[in-house]
Each structure stands twice: as C-alpha cells, then as structure tokens.
Amino acid sequence: MNELPSFFSVLGIIFVTTIIIFGILLLIATLLIFIMIRRKKIVFPRATLFLLDALYYPLKRLFVYSNMDKSIVDKIEIEIRNGILKNEYLSSKIKDRIVVFPYCLRSIDCKAQVSPELGVNCIKCGKCKIGNLKEICDENSIKVFIAPGGSFVKRVLKRHPCSSVLLIACHAELNEMMRILSTQGIPQYGILLKKTGCIETDVDIELVKEILLGVN
Ligand code: SF4
C-alpha cells in the first residue's frame, strides 16, 4: 500500500530534476550566445555547438517569447560549424566540391528547366549571379545544384558520396542543411545570403568565389 505514493514521489522528483536541468542548460546556452555576441568571438566551439544543437527548438522559442531575433541561434551555429569545418573543406580537392545555390537566388525571369533529380539546370543566361558562378564551377569541374532544402542535398550526396559541399542559403535553411550534413561527417562550408526573401535574393559573389576555389 505504501509503494504507490513512493513510486509517484520518485517520478515527481525525476520530473522536477529534469525540468531544473533543462532550465539550467537553456540558461547556459543563452548566456553563451550573449557572451559570443558581446566578445564577437566563439567560445568553447564544440561544446557550445552541441548545446545549441540539443536545445535548438526551445532556444528559438525562448528568443521569440523574449522578443529577440531568433535568427541569432542559426547564425551562431553556422559560424561555429564554419570555424570547425573550414580547414577540412579547404583541404578537399576542388574537383570534388559541390555547390548548392537556393532557388530564390535566380532571376524571376529564369527560363532554366527544373527536374526533381537535378534541380534547376542553369543555362548561364546571365540574368542572375548563379550564371557567372556556374561558369567558374564548370571551368573547375565543380558540380552545381540549384535546389531547395536539406532533403535534396542528401539525395545529391548519395550520388556523390566523396564530395565536400559549399552551401548558400538564408539562416534557417542553411543551418538546417549544415546540421544534416554534420551528422554524416561531410566537409562543408556555409555562406549566408546577404539579402533574403522568397525571390531574387542576393549573395556576396566575391566571398562565394573565394570559398569555392579556396585551398588550405
Ligand atoms: S543564370 Fe541560370 S539560374 Fe540565373 S536566371 Fe539564368 S538560367 Fe536561371
């Protein structure tokens, strides 16, 4: 008869302890984010990334509830991953690289054909920055994909398993794709769009060229 209350007490203690640990970790993650913003420097990169990955959705909710810019969480994760993986990416052979551009970087007048397997088949018409970058990629045997989201990138990597990947996207998309590729141990680098939105977005073309052709 006495066992039932004690079982529920134990359950209650476990529940409360879990909530307290969760709250403390959320607080530590938030503090780390503010320290990094203030110092303009990444601290404890691997441990911080682990914490931010584990608390990704609660952290974003917390930022929304606190009226703060939730994209900060994505931007910091991207910066940390770039710092950790940049050397590995730059050590890869240029011909083994893949670059993935987002759909929204195209001109609204883009006449390229789209296939579910290959994405947009850019004909280098010159109406957007992708055309110029594709020219450079073709000259250097870098594979180009213009496609939406992480699931497409996963399919591409099944066909080209030994590649390293340069990803270009807005903060949420980019972070999602980098998180997916990280679980597969793929060398990667992410570049944020400098103008986001659903159509005719923009990217720093010089930065893309530098990372596309960069070597260690
Ligand atoms: S350069 Fe390529 S992606 Fe850009 S608008 Fe022309 S065909 Fe489309």
Q: What is the rounded CA–CA span in Å between residue 193 and residue 216?
A: 24
Of the pLDDT bands very low, low, confident and very high (cuts 50, 70, 90), residue 185 is confident
Instruction: Give phi and psi for 193, each to the nearest 5.
Output: -65, 145
Of the pLDDT bands very low, low, confident and very high (cuts 50, 70, 90), residue 170 is very high
Q: Whose CA is nearest to atom 6 of ligand 1?
A: 125
Pocket test for ligand 1, best of 100, 127, 146 (most atoms within 8 A of CB): 127
The pTM of this model reads 0.89
What sign does the CA torsion over 144, 177, 84, 157 have? Answer: negative
Q: CB burial class (10 A; 0-12, 13-18, 19+) of residue 76?
A: buried
**C-alpha of residue 103 to centroid of ligand 1, in Å:** 10
pLDDT given at position 90 = 96
* Residue list, ligand 1 pocket, CB within 6 Å: 106-107, 110, 112, 120, 122-128, 130-131, 146
pLDDT given at position 71 = 95
Of the pLDDT bands very low, low, confident and very high (cuts 50, 70, 90), residue 46 is very high
* Domains, the chain, ordered by start: 3-79 (no CATH), 92-213 (3.40.50)
Q: Whose CA is nearest to atom 4 of ligand 1?
A: 128
Of the pLDDT bands very low, low, confident and very high (cuts 50, 70, 90), residue 135 is very high
Instruction: Give phi and psi for 192, each to the nearest 5.
Output: -80, 145
Structure tokens given for 44: 């404890």
